[in-house]
Amino acid sequence: MSEIALTINGNLVKAEQGDTVLTAARKAGIEVPTLCDHPALEPYGACRLCIVEIEGMRGYPPSCTTPAAQGMVVKTSSPVIIDLRKEVIKLLLSGHTSPCLVCLHREPCEKYRPRPSKSGRATRCAFCSNRDGCELRELSEEYKIDDLEVPIIYKHLPAEHMDPFMDRDYNLCVLCGRCARICEKIHTTGTIAFVERGKEARISTAFDQPHAKTDCRFCGACVDICPTGAMSDRYAKWYGAADRTEDSTCILCPVGCSVRLKTKDGKVISSGMTAFTQDARICAVGRFVLPQLLDSRYRLTSHQIRVADGLIKTGYEEALDLAANSLKAYAGSQFAMIAPSSATREELYVLRKFTKEVMKSGSFIVEPAALPDAIAGGTVKALYALGDYLQDTRPKGLDVLIVSDMFPSRTEKSADVIFAVAGLVETDGTFLNAAGQIKTMSAQAAAPKMLLPDWKVVCDIAKKMGASGFDFQTSDDIAKEMATSKVKETPPAAPEPSPLDKVSAIPRMYRGHAMSDIVTAMRIFFTAQEKEEKEAAPAPPAEEGKRFRILEKSEIVPNTHMVTVHAPVIAEKCQPGQFVIAMVEETSERIPYTISDFDREKGTITMVTLEMGRSSRELANTTAGEYLAHFAGPLGRPVEVKKFGTVVLGGGCFGVGAILPIARVMKEAGNRVICVEEASSHYLLHWQDKLSQACDELVIVTKDGSAGMKGGIQEAISMLAERGEKIDQAYIIGCTFMMMLVCDVTRKLGIPTMTAMNPLMVDGTGMCGCCRVSVGGVTKFSCVDGPFLDGLQIDWIELMQRQAAFKLEEVQAIPQDPHPAHDHGIDHVCMRA
């Protein structure tokens, strides 16, 4: 290949014949922004961000698809190009849910809300799991975009949650095409592609089928390559950015793929391909199941020994002593060990050595070999099982049963000693895969409570039994001894068909456990028959005695759900400002919801909620006709209704609905009522008609300025004050952060301000004090003293800290099973600016 020379930004640079202008620039260390471009993909020319000026060429060609030529004169960042790129970015942002990028309150928002909220749909950056990894966001910062002149066009596509492991929301998609291209590159026949044309163009599967019904292998490449957050890993998404990345090997099947592990605080949050190539592809288990196995709530974390009463938790030394003492009495054919095939070479070496040299037995069995008759037949008196291999009851004649495992099992139930161990990517060493390659493990993940791997436990037992030759400190020590001894190793047989080619062929078992019992989202890959066996059809809920029927349920604007419940007793008595406690299931939390509307004649209560975690997702997933498990109220104190003069009612997000009943009574009491509705963008505005009817004036504010005034409720109140309104009282309902900012303004203006508290609650009836809030130095219970408390005196920082008390548990509580797609109805009329 011959070398060429060209001028970029006044510098003479060298490139190879065949390089694109973009490549030439990058080789010379000149940054050109891109989005659809990716090192793993061929140039595509879709996003137009990489446009440049080239002397003698018409227009502004994309550098990614323009071949570099000898003598070319290129400008990558001339004022014209910069201006054009800004326009390109604005156009891209108009197809993305990006109002937070231009919000006036972005800085304090990110300070006080350091992690995005766990929403069902990312309607804005503050609700987006990809907030901190978003390439659009980086671009908008680099090019200082502070205004969206082209309003966001929300596409109103359903949020897709119906597949295992991944969530998709194509409302965030900017059509860069990376996902479809990587899918095609890795699997040759891609699962996803562009469908429709022009402004209807979007990414989808053939006939819009869920991925589980296509030939998708769930390799996760699309999720990992998406720059926007349109595709996300359901399990990993709310844990935040990883603090460490390292490669290891997935040993859950003989293929033994390399995996790139991302960890946070020692915990694996995701496992992915080491490169975006066909050779590096991995299966659904390697990509999605592995991290969830390690973090399973069923994980064994304590050693146990049997006493007269049953199993008790115990220390490691005590368990070792009991194991060593119990085994001493047996030797030869009286002892057998069953080991998993998902083990490192070093581990298998030590286990075999222990069986042979310490126990003098030839019965070292590596699954999936069938259990020898010796165990069932009563010859074996002492058994060491490294997994759930007995399954049924303890064989007759067995005196000692030692179990070493990561999960509880049937085998464990009759064990005398149980060791909880580290496994899979928590161990180091090497793995001999079906291709005969020796793959390296990196012990990347920290095992819970510093548990030890199987080989270490067996070495410690051997030493307790007085055996020598088990003084290994690391896997490397074992490897050194293996190198000098003549160990015959044969690669395991490759699975047929390969799990890499067919999702139905993914590994199912680990240590004798069905992985789908631990990571239940896997069940969707089972055949219909298997599925039936696993999921005995749940009995249809008995409707008898159920009182709280859902009459209406809709997603009124994206991620904002309205639920109307038949509860005549509550509807008859409730007053504006009060709340209800709802439990969707018997296993749910008791969650408070502000009453957004009620109809005494029909006996209904209406709630509006954002989907923001497990409990609100449960409510968002209900449909009309179903029953809530529990519904109690009305709770809390109603607002004080009297003639104040001019009352401003400010509502944001779920609070928009909540100000409606207050507006009605305040108006009835003779007040001049001004409602302020705040939304991030025009596509989140709702109930303007209802509010207009209930008040004297409705002020609309949006964070991106796409409708009404640009700003928040605080800017609206300042504007009202400036134009001469004498505001006698303000009531504010919305998120804590917003209410805090509004109070900063009303305090300066001297406006008495009541704010609706939304702290954590348990019972909601004054029993527990979880919801306590400091108001002017005095502790109040929001549930019985509130929900409205004096916003000018609230200790907002304390309140926010208390709200964050269970941040990690809130992420862990989110169920990982697929759930229905949310479709908020295309009939929603997008309000134009």
Contact footprint for another protein (CB under 8 A): 297, 302, 307-314, 547-548, 569-570, 573, 583, 586-590, 614-615, 618, 629-635, 762-763, 765-770, 772, 774, 779, 784, 795, 797-798, 801-802, 804-806, 809-810, 812-813, 815
CB of 513 to another protein, least distance (A): 18
By beta-carbon proximity to another protein, the closer residue of 117 and 361 is 117
CB of 585 to another protein, least distance (A): 8
Asked if residue 606 lies in contact with residue 564, where contact means CB atoms within 8 angstroms, the answer is yes
- 623-661 exposure pattern, b = at least 16 Cβ within 10 A, e = fewer: eeeebbeebbbbbbebbebeebebbbbbbbbbbbbbbbb
Structure-token pair, residue 628: 């809530």
By beta-carbon proximity to another protein, the closer residue of 217 and 614 is 614
Residue 308: Cβ within 10 Å count:
4
Residue 321: Cβ within 10 Å count:
16
By beta-carbon proximity to another protein, the closer residue of 372 and 568 is 568
Residue 541 neighbours by CB under 8 Å, 6+ apart: 627
By beta-carbon proximity to another protein, the closer residue of 393 and 801 is 801
* Residue 432 to residues 253, 346, 386, 599, Cα–Cα distance (Å): 11, 10, 19, 69
Interatomic CA distance for residues 572 and 99, integer angstroms: 40
CB of 573 to another protein, least distance (A): 6
CB of 590 to another protein, least distance (A): 7
By beta-carbon proximity to another protein, the closer residue of 67 and 766 is 766
* Residue 320 to residues 315, 400, 463, Cα–Cα distance (Å): 9, 14, 10
By beta-carbon proximity to another protein, the closer residue of 266 and 815 is 815
* Residue 361 to residues 320, 380, 643, Cα–Cα distance (Å): 20, 10, 91
By beta-carbon proximity to another protein, the closer residue of 9 and 588 is 588
- Of the candidates 456, 246, 467, the one whose C-alpha atom is nearest the C-alpha of residue 344 is 456
Structure-token pair, residue 676: 């302020």
- Of the candidates 430, 432, 433, the one whose C-alpha atom is nearest the C-alpha of residue 441 is 430
By beta-carbon proximity to another protein, the closer residue of 218 and 407 is 407
Structure-token pair, residue 723: 């134009």
CB of 629 to another protein, least distance (A): 7
Residue 807 neighbours by CB under 8 Å, 6+ apart: 115
By beta-carbon proximity to another protein, the closer residue of 202 and 267 is 267
CB of 589 to another protein, least distance (A): 4
Tokens 């030839």, located at residue: 362
CB of 233 to another protein, least distance (A): 18
- Of the candidates 568, 560, 569, 546, the one whose C-alpha atom is nearest the C-alpha of residue 628 is 546
Interatomic CA distance for residues 311 and 304, integer angstroms: 6
Residue 485 neighbours by CB under 8 Å, 6+ apart: none
Which H helix or E strand runs over 833?
none
Rounded to the nearest angstrom, the gap between the alpha carbon of residue 790 and the centroid of all alpha carbons in its chain is 36
Residue 529: Cβ within 10 Å count:
8
CB of 816 to another protein, least distance (A): 10
By beta-carbon proximity to another protein, the closer residue of 347 and 618 is 618
- Of the candidates 374, 323, 313, 134, the one whose C-alpha atom is nearest the C-alpha of residue 237 is 134
Residue 134: Cβ within 10 Å count:
22
Residue 772: Cβ within 10 Å count:
18
Interatomic CA distance for residues 705 and 716, integer angstroms: 12
By beta-carbon proximity to another protein, the closer residue of 313 and 531 is 313
CB of 300 to another protein, least distance (A): 13
By beta-carbon proximity to another protein, the closer residue of 463 and 630 is 630
Helix ranges (DSSP H) in 437-527: 454-464, 475-484, 515-518
Phi, psi of 606 (to 5 degrees): -115, 135
By beta-carbon proximity to another protein, the closer residue of 301 and 504 is 301
By beta-carbon proximity to another protein, the closer residue of 656 and 799 is 799
CB of 529 to another protein, least distance (A): 27
CB of 116 to another protein, least distance (A): 18
By beta-carbon proximity to another protein, the closer residue of 769 and 825 is 769
Secondary structure (DSSP) of 193-243? EEES-GGG-EEEEGGG--GGGTT-----HHHHH-SSSSEEETTTTTT-S-S
Q: C-alpha dihedral over 10, 15, 20, 25, to 10 degrees?
A: -40
CB of 314 to another protein, least distance (A): 8
CB of 563 to another protein, least distance (A): 16
Number of H helices and number of E strands within the chain? 25, 38
CB of 347 to another protein, least distance (A): 29
DSSP letter (8 states) at residue 357: I
By beta-carbon proximity to another protein, the closer residue of 220 and 818 is 818
Which residues pair with residue 248 across a beta bridge? 259
CB of 760 to another protein, least distance (A): 9
Strands 697-702 and 672-679: parallel
CB of 319 to another protein, least distance (A): 13
CB of 601 to another protein, least distance (A): 17
CB of 762 to another protein, least distance (A): 6
Structure-token pair, residue 775: 């108001």
By beta-carbon proximity to another protein, the closer residue of 297 and 723 is 297
Structure-token pair, residue 211: 């991925």
By beta-carbon proximity to another protein, the closer residue of 154 and 796 is 796
Interatomic CA distance for residues 543 and 550, integer angstroms: 12
